[in-house]
Amino acid sequence: MDLGLAGRTIVVTGGTSGIGLATAGLFLNEGAKVAICGRDEARLAKASADLEARFAGKVMAHRCDVTKKEDVEAFAAAVQKWAGGADILINNAGQGRMSTFATTTDEQWRAELDLKFFSQIHPVRAFQPLLEKSTAAAILAVNSLLAYQPEPYMVCTSAARAGVQSLVKSLATEFAPRIRVNSVMLGLIDSGQWERRFQARENKAQTRDEWMVELTKTKHIPFARLGLPDEVARAIVFLASPAASYVTGASLEISGGISRYI
Ligand code: NDP
């Protein structure tokens, strides 16, 4: 199946690690040009160099914090200058917060709501004028199953995720039929986030394999393992591609079967 991505320009926020980096690589494999962003200069330079080594001249990297409006506007201007436009926006940048209601301060609530909502809102506003000119315009939000199935240890993130899912649905309606808007709902994916959580584990004697086995048992993952960034990237690339031309307002669960709702 031809995904119709050759020659298209794709923007991946948080494209320097984990799911975003895997997604950027797959879009490049399909013949697209890809612009990535992230906050950490070193991570950005490494990701950019790795992708550029495989896809010379097809990659641009820009330092940008998606919670900062001016950063995102500058990123959009740089993409416009580099590629002359943009066809697809993947809103992937972010991370989760582990906390209960009791352990989340008001400031942490504000920071989390700010990250979850404005990591969508700022890029959508900044890239919308470019997407409006595309014949294959699409936005894809990377979201979590926590939106529908809140976890007691991620109270604040779960609430914010539910709000983002509502936003995605509203955007799909408001932007139809010009721009398709979909989301992926993730379970646990073995990325930079989980590597950081492994490094911060209480029992430092535990190996990564032992820690993972315990994690998959505690989380009751039917597939008995975490997902891989590539397994998410493949779904993102399809949903955002012209091959999914009649799909909008949809969400695809990628979780190894962890959800319990119907
Ligand atoms: P990683 O930590 O591996 O990647 C996160 C990426 O986002 C990095 O490139 C990071 O770069 C970037 N990023 C984070 N905050 C910002 C910011 N404010 N502005 C710009 N870039 C930012 O994690 P994942 O690949 O797992 O995360 C990708 C998305 O998937 C995130 O939104 C995450 O919340 C979501 N998700 C992940 C799950 C999982 O189990 N892995 C489950 C559910 C959702 P830098 O730090 O340099 O800015």
pLDDT at residue 110, rounded to an integer: 98
102 alpha-carbon distance from chain centroid:
28
The total number of structural domains that make up the chain: 2
Other C-beta atoms closer than 10 Å to the C-beta of 3 total 18
Amino acid identity of residue 117, one-letter, is: F
In this structure, the answer to whether residues 45 and 114 fall within a common structural domain is yes
In this structure, the answer to whether residues 95 and 144 fall within a common structural domain is yes
The rounded Å distance from CA 128 to ligand 1 centre is 22
Q: What is the band of 254 on the pLDDT scale with cuts at 50, 70, 90?
A: very high
Residue 151 lies in a domain: yes
| Nearest Cα residue to atom 11 of ligand 1 | 38
| Nearest Cα residue to atom 12 of ligand 1 | 14
Strands 59-63 and 180-186: unpaired
The rounded Å distance from CA 40 to ligand 1 centre is 12
| Nearest Cα residue to atom 10 of ligand 1 | 14
The rounded Å distance from CA 4 to ligand 1 centre is 27
Whichever domain contains 140, its CATH number is 3.40.50.720
Radius of gyration of the chain (CA): 18
The rounded Å distance from CA 142 to ligand 1 centre is 9
Token output for 36: 């990535």
In this structure, the answer to whether residues 198 and 179 fall within a common structural domain is no
The rounded Å distance from CA 92 to ligand 1 centre is 6
| Residue 187 Cα: closest atom of ligand 1 | 42
| Residue 190 Cα: closest atom of ligand 1 | 41
Considering the chain, what percentage of its residues have pLDDT values greater than 90?
99
In this structure, the answer to whether residues 65 and 182 fall within a common structural domain is yes
Token output for 150: 């809140």
Residues in CB range of 64: below 8 A, 6 or more apart: 13, 37, 38, 39, 71, 72, 74, 75
Residues in CB range of 175: below 8 A, 6 or more apart: 139, 181
In this structure, the answer to whether residues 129 and 194 fall within a common structural domain is no
| Residue 188 Cα: closest atom of ligand 1 | 40
Matching residue, tokens 């709902």:
185
Strands 88-91 and 59-63: unpaired
Which residues have any ligand 1 atom within 6 Å of their CB?
A: 13-14, 16-20, 37-40, 43, 64-67, 92-96, 142, 144, 186, 188-189, 191-194
* Strand (E) or helix (H) holding 141: strand 138-144
Q: What is the band of 234 on the pLDDT scale with cuts at 50, 70, 90?
A: very high
3-state secondary structure at position 9: strand
- Could you read off the pLDDT of 21-50 as tens digits, one per residue? 999 999 999 999 999 999 999 999 999 999
Other C-beta atoms closer than 10 Å to the C-beta of 214 total 13
| Nearest Cα residue to atom 19 of ligand 1 | 65
Q: What is the mean pLDDT of residues 104-109?
A: 98
3-state secondary structure at position 15: coil
User: Where in 145-262 does DSSP place strands (E)?
Assistant: 180-186, 251-254
3-state secondary structure at position 216: helix
In this structure, the answer to whether residues 197 and 235 fall within a common structural domain is no
Calpha distance 18→125 (Å, rounded):
25
| Residue 227 Cα: closest atom of ligand 1 | 40
**Residue span of the structural domain in which 199 resides:** 190-226
pLDDT at residue 199, rounded to an integer: 95
pLDDT at residue 192, rounded to an integer: 87
- Cα distances from 131 to residues 1, 62, 232, in angstroms, run 24, 19, 23
| Residue 66 Cα: closest atom of ligand 1 | 19
